[in-house]
Amino acid sequence: MEQKEAIKKFCENANYYLVRFPSKTDEDFGKILQTTELDKVKLDEHEIYRSIEYTNGDMLFVLDLKKDVKNTYSLNHVQLLLKNLEDAKSIEIVYPKMFTWIYDGLSIKAYAVVPSGNVKQHSTISRYGGTLNFIKTIRQHLKNIASMKRGVMPDYNFVNNDEEVETMELSIGSINKFSDLYSVHISPFMSFADILRRSKNGMHADFEFTYFDMKYWTREINPDFLADVKNIKITDTLTIDEAQTKYPAPVIRLMNLKHKGNYNRFLLARFLLSIHSPKDAKFMYYSVLGNEEREHVKSGNCSTQWNYIKNNIKHYSCPTMKELKSFIHDTDPPLSHPLENIQEYLDKKKVKKNE
């Protein structure tokens, strides 16, 4: 399989895909591509990413095994690969042929597809607290399997998983500029030498993705046994004037950052869209960006970011306190959810109105 074919197949039906240039910082997306533009990209010099969301609403499941290895960057490529291979074998033995395995030039990953675009599956997925919580739950379950094989006590606290779900994924077939190796399809039962040879030479085999069977997984991990997640969704939007004093302290600190960058803008947009009308949310979003960053999100490489989040807010609801943890101070009033006080305010407002 040719490199370009592998990339096109991996990016097929993605909500968007893009090229990331070496000169760009991690805070910037890069340039979103049209299919014809792929022919103009130097694929041996520039990384290609795709959104984990498909155009039909399905989501790409990604388990990155390097995230479960302590002191990752103190290991060389071979040491990390050997550790990842053992974990991948453990998972594959328990769940044979359920995942597509790749080596991305640094670590081994497992892929599958969550059928979140299928309306019939929504009620089942919602029992896990939504698509992202389902992804986190399955990832934790798979890592527990690998941990037990290594003699490590598993962590059954599925809900309180700090690890975030990345919105983009390096494409199969793409070069990884960190290692100058290619992301290639593998089997966990290959030798490490064969995997490195494939990755170094960009040897791309054909691949397919398996869709999660939601009935099967509700038997494997009963969502009713998971701890409850406090997931507040307000039904009434707030005007800008009444919301000014209701923003929680972590969000205010985020808003006051001189330069926010891609991820913090992502968090801010999700918060604003969860309490305001789209028009008011966009006004507030632009009002707290510096001139250069505002111009960047209006007409630069990230010009599609706002509409993408707005159109997919069902997947990217209000950020959790864990996602905002870098903006939380010890002296802040304790909150279990950023919308907790706003919800209380709206409830009191409704009661007063009905009196």
Q: Do 125 and 19 have their domain in common?
A: yes
Same-domain check for residues 216 and 276: no
Straight-line distance from the first to the last Cα atom of the chain, in angstroms, rounded to the nearest whole number: 70
Asked if 267 and 128 sit in the same domain, the reply is no
Domain match, 296 and 197 both: no
Residue 47 CA to residue 50 CA, distance in Å, equals: 10
What 3-state class would DSSP assign to 8?
helix
The answer to whether position 350 is within a domain reads yes
Between residues 337 and 9, the one the model is more confident about? 9
Domain termination residue (choose one: 224, 249, 282): 224
The percent of residues above 70 in pLDDT, for the chain, comes to: 88
Whether 28 and 130 share a structural domain: yes
Per-residue tokens: 275: 């309490």
| b/e code 192-203 from CB counts within 10 Å (16+ = b) | eeebbebbeebe
- Do residues 165 and 199 both lie within one domain? yes
Average pLDDT in the 13-34 region?
A: 70
**At residue 183, does pLDDT exceed 60?**
yes
Residue range of the domain that includes 288: 240-354
Whether residues 272 and 198 fall in one domain: no
pTM above threshold 0.75: no
Residue 169 covered by a domain: yes
Are 112 and 261 in a shared domain? Answer: no
Same domain, 27 and 152: yes
Torsion of CA 50, 11, 6, 90, to 10 degrees: 60
Q: What is the mean pLDDT of residues 293-310?
A: 83
Q: Are residues 206 and 266 in the same domain?
A: no
Q: What is the dihedral of CA 63, 233, 330, 332, to 10 degrees?
A: 160
The pLDDT value given to residue 72: 55
Q: Are residues 206 and 179 in the same domain?
A: yes
Distance CA 58, CA 61 (A): 10
Using CA atoms, how far apart are residues 244 and 242, in angstroms rounded to an integer?
6
Tokens (6 digits) for 131:
């698509």
Mean pLDDT over all residues of the chain?
85
Give a yes or no: residue 232 inside a domain.
no
pLDDT per position as a tens digit, 77-89: 888 999 999 999 9
Instruction: Identify the band that residue 35 occupies on the pLDDT scale cut at 50, 70 and 90.
Output: low
> Is there a domain that residue 235 lies in?
no
Number of domains observed in the structure of the chain: 2
What per-residue confidence (pLDDT) applies to 246? 87
Tell me the pLDDT band of 69, cut-offs 50, 70 and 90: low
Q: How many residues does the chain have?
A: 355
In a domain, 65, yes or no: yes
Same-domain pairing of 198 and 288: no
In a domain, 234, yes or no: no
- Is 68 within the bounds of a domain? yes
The total of other beta-carbon atoms located within 10 Å of residue 26's CB is 8
Residue 203 domain-assigned? Answer: yes
pLDDT digits (tens, 9 = 90+) for 133-143: 889 889 999 99
pLDDT of 115: 95
